[in-house]
Amino acid sequence: MPEIIQPGNGVIFMKVGTHASETLEDILERKRREIEVAGVSFWGYGGPTCHPVLHVRPFVKQIQENGRSIYLVMQRMDSRHFAEPKLAEQYSDDGVTWNDVPAGVNVKGSRYALTIDSLEPHDEDLDYDALRVGIGRSEGKAARQYIRGRVDKACFIVSADHDVSEDPPLHIDLIATLKPPYAVHVR
């Protein structure tokens, strides 16, 4: 099990649950099958806080250039995402040039997707105060102040300088590794 909380590591955080009328357990089973068959899966999502071109890919590049590791970590939540489970047929690295979604890969009811090549259960508590927003207008903001209300995903960097909090930690239930191109648009 990787040790995530190492100064300089990158953490893409998402709360996950029911999505596009599919239970999380069904999604996990399907994603693991996709990785086994196609060597990749697209983890679909929406919202601007982890835009593929503006946030995720520049963030991954920054972390990798610093010789650090990056993880997609997910926390289970009760979700009411019952949108139309429409399958994406195409993906794009840049939102301009489009390619067919690889055979055997399905992404439903999403605008964007992270490209992953592993997906495992994980049981770890992360100290919110060790995480800072790593890119964008809120760069440097503490995770505890950022993950509020409807904000359920972020690109965080592990801070070398933080106080250990007595507040409840951020529990991680799943971990995945990213595969190039890391994040894409889907339609």
Helix (H) or strand (E) holding 74, with range, is: strand 70-76
| pLDDT tens-digit profile, the chain (187 residues) | 467 778 899 999 999 988 888 899 999 999 999 999 999 999 999 888 999 999 999 999 999 999 999 999 999 988 776 667 889 999 999 999 999 999 999 999 899 999 999 999 999 888 888 899 999 999 999 998 899 878 899 999 998 876 666 778 889 999 999 999 999 999 9
Tokens of 50: 């982890």
Helix (H, G, I), strand (E, B) or coil at 109: coil
- Domain boundary assignment for the chain: 10-186
Residue type, position 15, single letter = K
